[in-house]
Amino acid sequence: MLKTQTRHAIDPATAKTLDTDQLRDHFHVGGLFVDGEINLVYSHYDRLILGSAVPAGKALTLDKVDATGTATILERREMGILNIGEAGNVTVSGQTYELGKGEVLYIGMGAGPVTFDGAGRFYVLSAPAHQTYPTTLITLKDARRVEMGARETANERVIIQFLHPEVCKSCQLLMGYTQFAEGSVWNTMPAHLHDRRMEAYLYFQLPEDQRVFHLMGEPDQTRHIVMANEEAVISPPWSIHAGAGTASYTFCWAMAGDNVDFTDMDMVAMGDLR
């Protein structure tokens, strides 16, 4: 029912030497959403955990995870849960929350075991925490929307922010997702870095026969990873994170690190990319 794996952090000099399979072994996360399973990846970049829970008709409980070395996963952590499926339930601290499609539940440190049930397909993110904030259900009407880009540059999109200082307090976990208008495919371009925070992406709402080319690496040493629907990727603090799809898609972004300032980023000029 619970499957976990660990991804160790590597430096940019090592990343330059990796071939396609090695890049995928370190950064690509596939096979997440499996009926009746909880799948977690423990990353050594800022100790972020990303994963999934798909109840598929039976309750699944997330409690002890050996990689954290604590009695329960939330003993010293906070969590954000995004439902990318039909309506489903998450129960924590004796209270049940119904998450509709596209809604997010924030769970504060110390809340105890988390149980998933119903028809939801839950994307799970967790980062170390130093303070407890209230468990909060964030609906689409509660989220902050930022419209960006243009049709002419193929990046017309809306950024929907859930775990953000203006929406829901958290210790260090920032989380939301970006949706593209029909015909737009480019994300986060011009590219940027934020060495103070790592990031993870989940690509979803992408047709099964289409792909996203996720760009990573130092600005002058770019690489790419080909992503299918409902696959995730770990983005190190030293790496750009950008990409383009063969069709429109949505991606969930999550960050953990030194601050929760969404705009804290170092822009990379187009002419500096290699």
Does an H or E element contain 251, and which? Answer: strand 250-257
Q: What is the pLDDT of residues 66-95, one digit of tens each?
A: 999 999 999 999 999 999 999 999 999 999
Percentages helix, strand, coil for the chain (3-state, rounded to 5) are: 10, 45, 45
98 labeled part of a ligand binding site: no
* Residue 147 CB neighbours (<10 A): 9
Per-residue pLDDT at 261: 82
The token pair at 174 is 């920032």
130 labeled part of a ligand binding site: no
Alpha carbons 11 and 167: distance in angstroms, whole number: 34
194 labeled part of a ligand binding site: yes
Q: What is the pLDDT of residues 187-202, one digit of tens each?
A: 988 898 988 999 999 9
The token pair at 14 is 């090592």
CB 48 within 8 A of CB 125: yes
Per-residue pLDDT at 188: 87
The token pair at 54 is 């798909």
Burial 19-36 (b: 16+ CB within 10 A, else e): eeeebbebbbbeebbeee
199 labeled part of a ligand binding site: yes
